[in-house]
Amino acid sequence: MKLLVIFATTEGHTRKIAHFVQNEAKAQGWEVDVKDVSEGAPLPNGYDAALIGASIHMGKYQAAIADYVIRNSQGLNNTLSGFLSVSLTAAGDDEEAWKEINEIADHFLKYCDWTPQRSLQVAGALKYVEYDWLKKIVMRHIAKKSGGSTDTKHDHEYTNWDELSMFVKDFLALKK
């Protein structure tokens, strides 16, 4: 079985998630191709399943991932496909914030005319070490409001790797 994993990333954490998915799928006997959409991505045709990962920044996903999904929506809709929506908001339990990220994902999927069989909101990371001074201040303020870490000397990952592993296992089991 062949799995295609396409991702878009702004700060690199979605890339880490995509490679985690790759390792999980390979452990289950799948052949996996992982591609950053900004470096050119293959069509989903010829794959048994496809997972698309993208992160929410300032209320939307990367334009390159939207372009890819729109161009390939028919192929994605005709195969087993899933969506991984990555955001810091998914690390919290604020009901209004969750409503907002679910609405962002729903709007994206509708806009792209894509209906994946499975979707997961994945908690992202604070990449304080990589941020410029302004973004560091803004992100620290956001983290403080939402209960996240304000220690800007270190990066902080919030991804629930066990939950993601279970999602991948359950998603791939749909094809067997």
Residues 130 and 69 in one domain: no
Check residue 144 and give its pLDDT.
74
Describe the strand order of the beta sheet including 31-36 as a list of residue ranges. 31-36, 2-7, 49-55, 80-87, 118-123
Residue pair 170/47 in contact (Cβ under 8 Å)? The answer is: no
Residues 91 and 133 in one domain: no
Q: Consecutive sets of 10 residues in the chain, 176 residues long: mean pLDDT of each?
A: 96 95 98 96 94 94 97 97 94 89 97 98 88 83 75 88 98 91
Residues 71 and 152 in one domain: no
Contacts of 151 (CB under 8 A, 6+ apart): 128
Please, which residues bridge with residue 82 across strands? 51, 118
Residues 52 and 132 in one domain: no
Check residue 125 and give its pLDDT.
87
Residues 96 and 141 in one domain: no
Residues 116 and 163 in one domain: yes
Residues 108 and 152 in one domain: no
Check residue 108 and give its pLDDT.
98
Domain that holds residue 150: 126-157
Alpha carbon separation from 55 to 48, 99, 102, 176 (Å, rounded) = 24, 16, 13, 29
What one-character DSSP code corresponds to residue 11? Answer: S
Residues 152 and 75 in one domain: no
Residues 142 and 110 in one domain: no
Alpha carbon separation from 7 to 14, 45, 65, 139 (Å, rounded) = 7, 17, 7, 23
Q: Structure tokens of 16?
A: 């880490």
Residues 115 and 138 in one domain: no
Check residue 136 and give its pLDDT.
82
Residues 133 and 167 in one domain: no
